[in-house]
């Protein structure tokens, strides 16, 4: 196991951990849309997160992606991410054994951030905010926070991709 190339982006320190996968545990986390009709069992109403927990040497690693990681016990991999609590959170990975490089889609997050920012700007120019109504100001604040978070997350993933590709 090795930890190399630390990069500090804003307040999160992104680094690389590499080693051999051991104690692999794959899980599936599903959320059901509360607006889904009770008689409809279609999979399009479920939000799925694929969680992989494993060790790289003595380091506990956890990855949450919208598609399953392509890893197996004994694979030689390099992951890029940040420490969170007791484990290392993966933003991007490179599986040298299976020759797979993957990450979450930072472009979609960036576009989502721009969308929420555009909605916030639209609210800012609205009459209700200018009049001082509380509810539109709360929506303006909420949309702005979501845009900042999505943009920050997209930039973190982009930084992780840069580290893993070097």
DSSP the chain: -EEEEEEEETTEEEEEEEEEEEEEEEEEEEEE-TTS-TT---GGGEEEEEEEEEEETTEEEEEEESS-----TT-EEEEEEEEETTEEEEEEEEETTTTEEEE--HHHHHHHHHHHHHHHHHHHTSHHHHHT-HHHHHHHHHHHHHHHHHHHHHHHHHHHHHHHH-
- Using N-to-C axis directions, what is the helix angle for 134-165 and 106-124, rounded to 10°? 160
pLDDT band at 132 (very low <50, low <70, confident <90, very high): confident
Q: CB–CB of 107/161 below 8 Å?
A: no
How large is the average pLDDT for residues 65-88?
A: 91
How is domain 2-102 classified at the architecture level of CATH?
Beta Barrel (2.40)
Most confident of 40-44, 104-108, 143-147: 143-147
8 pLDDT more than 60 = no
How large is the average pLDDT for residues 97-122?
A: 91
pLDDT value, residue 12:
65
Residue 14's contacts (CB-CB under 8 Å, 6 or more residues apart) are: 6, 7, 8, 80, 81, 82, 91, 156, 159, 160, 163
With CA atoms as reference, report the closest residue to 28 among 7, 6, 46.
Answer: 46
pLDDT digits (tens, 9 = 90+) for 118-130: 988 888 787 777 7
- For the chain, domain boundaries: 2-102, 105-166
> What percent of the chain is modeled with pLDDT above 90?
52
pLDDT value, residue 133:
76
pLDDT band at 46 (very low <50, low <70, confident <90, very high): low
18 pLDDT more than 80 = yes
160 pLDDT more than 80 = yes
- The whole-angstrom separation of Cα 6 and Cα 13 is 7
Q: Please report, for residues 12, 13, 79, 133, 142, the alpha-carbon distance to residue 114 in angstroms, rounded to integers and kept in the order given.
A: 22, 25, 28, 25, 14
pLDDT value, residue 111:
95
pLDDT value, residue 37:
62
* Average model confidence (pLDDT) across the chain: 84
């Amino acid at each position: 196991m090795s930890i190399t190339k630390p990069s500090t982006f804003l307040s999160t320190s992104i680094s690389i951990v590499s080693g051999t996968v051991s104690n692999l545990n794959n899980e599936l986390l599903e959320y059901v849309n509360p607006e889904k009709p009770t008689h409809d069992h279609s999979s399009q109403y479920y939000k799925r997160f694929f969680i992989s927990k494993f060790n790289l040497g003595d380091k506990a690693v956890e990855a949450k992606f919208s598609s399953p990681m392509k890893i197996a016990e004994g694979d030689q991999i390099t992951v890029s991410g940040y420490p969170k609590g007791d484990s290392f959170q993966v933003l991007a990975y490179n599986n040298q054994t299976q020759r797979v490089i993957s990450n979450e889609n930072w472009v979609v997050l960036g576009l989502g951030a721009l969308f929420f920012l555009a909605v916030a700007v639209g609210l800012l120019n609205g009459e209700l905010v200018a009049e001082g109504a509380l509810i539109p100001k709360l929506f303006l604040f909420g949309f702005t926070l979501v845009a900042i978070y999505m943009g920050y997350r997209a930039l973190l993933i982009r930084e992780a991709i840069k580290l893993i590709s070097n």
